[in-house]
Amino acid sequence: MNSGLLKPYKNLERERIQGEGPAIETHRAVGSEVREAIRRIGGTMPESLPVEEPIKKVIATHEEETKRIDAAISWFRIQK
């Protein structure tokens, strides 16, 4: 997992932050630092990344392709 994603949790644990308000403040501060680092190195901001296909669609496509491949394998076995 990306260490940037874990940073807020590590801060909460290390600094022993308790309570929703302080946790939210910490997450916002860390998020700002991460966004600034992305900007500084010229990376792509998260909101500018392309949208991926929904996982349910990916799974359905995979299952359909698997069925077609299995059918093709069966057909070739019959032909032998």
Banded model confidence at residue 44, pLDDT cuts 50, 70, 90 = very high
pTM: 0.48
Of residues 9 and 70, more confidently modeled:
70
Per-residue pLDDT, averaged over 54-64, amounts to: 96
Per-residue pLDDT, averaged over 2-20, amounts to: 67
Task: Report in angstroms the alpha-carbon separations of 69 from 9, 58, 62.
Answer: 44, 16, 10
Alpha helices for 1-80 (secondary structure H): 3-14, 20-41, 55-79
Query: How high does pLDDT run on average in the chain?
Result: 85
In this prediction, residue 3 carries a pLDDT of 58
In this prediction, residue 62 carries a pLDDT of 96
